Copies of this chain bind each other. A is one copy, B any other.
Amino acid sequence: MAKTISIIGLESFPLVKKGDNLPKLIVDAMRREGVTVGNHDIIVIAQKIVSKTEGRIVRLRDVKPSKKAFEIAKVTRKDPRHIELILHETENVVKASEQILIVKGRTGLVCLNAGIDKSNVEGDDAHALLPIDPDESARRIRSEIRELTGKNVAVVICDTFSRPFRRAQVNFVIGIAGISPFKDYRGQKDLFGYVIKVKRAAVADGIAAASELAMGQGKEAIPVVIIKQLNRVEWTEKTSADELLLPKEEDLFAGTL
């Protein structure tokens, strides 16, 4: 009677490099580990391996800092080449102070260092940038998995971020294909027939956070997670992780931090 959702971490996923065929690696790893590819499976992929296969790795030795990068480096006390990398991915700087650089990135995502980081990237000065268009990456991977298997899966690309008000990091969605980010309850009735006013679940962020339980952040090397039997999601072709981004003028928390 109990309803079980499975969160399956692929444990034999190889290290990837630029140009690798990620959809094929995923399907191969699933087959190798005895995980069937099923219709309505949700495949969650860590940003890092998407960035690597798309060649979004930059070495600091190849970066020439601009004047603005040097200025911000002075304030933040960070490497000006690292700052230059971040500025390239930035729409506007939100906060620069000692050891802190928070920006609104190209896609509208507000986060530390434009999501650029060093962990699990080979090369002592190599940094991974976010994919150019994570929604497009998700759509491409989804469509190639469908070609390889004939199955209609969803693809969610996630990354780990710090958040306001709470310690430590969780995974959030940065790219999505096949399902809506939301489950909308507004206008529906609750257990006792009262109309639910302001409830919309960010199901895709729940999926990202859940996948982190299987992925880990260190050397676990589990960058792909399959979620099965999750029936609460809305399947749709029209979707984007951008729908989750809240402009400041709509943010209930504006002025609180």
Whole-angstrom distance between the alpha carbons of A123 and B252 in the complex?
28
- CB-CB under 8 A from A166, the residues of chain B are 172, 202, 205, 244-246
Select which of B120, B163, B252 is within 8 A of A191 by beta carbon.
B120
Judged by a CB distance under 8 angstroms, whether A100 is at the interface is: yes
Judged by a CB distance under 8 angstroms, whether A213 is at the interface is: yes
- CB-CB under 8 A from A201, the residues of chain B are 160, 168-170, 212, 216-217
Shortest CB–CB separation between residue A184 and chain B, in angstroms?
8
- CB-CB under 8 A from A30, the residues of chain B are 2
Are A8 and B3 CB-contacts (below 8 A) given A100-B252, A205-B209, A218-B196? yes
Count the copies: 2
Judged by a CB distance under 8 angstroms, whether A121 is at the interface is: yes
Select which of B9, B122, B207, B251 is within 8 A of A257 by beta carbon.
B251
- CB-CB under 8 A from A209, the residues of chain B are 170, 205-206, 209-210
Are A11 and B2 CB-contacts (below 8 A) given A119-B190, A192-B122, A213-B232? yes
Q: Which 10 A-B pairs have the closest CB atoms?
A: A210-B210, A209-B209, A168-B202, A164-B253, A257-B257, A2-B33, A168-B200, A5-B7, A1-B33, A3-B9
Given contacts A3-B9, A15-B191, 20 further A-B contacts (CB under 8 A): A2-B8, A2-B226, A6-B6, A119-B197, A120-B191, A162-B253, A163-B164, A164-B256, A166-B205, A168-B201, A170-B206, A185-B217, A188-B219, A190-B218, A201-B217, A203-B213, A205-B209, A206-B209, A210-B210, A248-B257
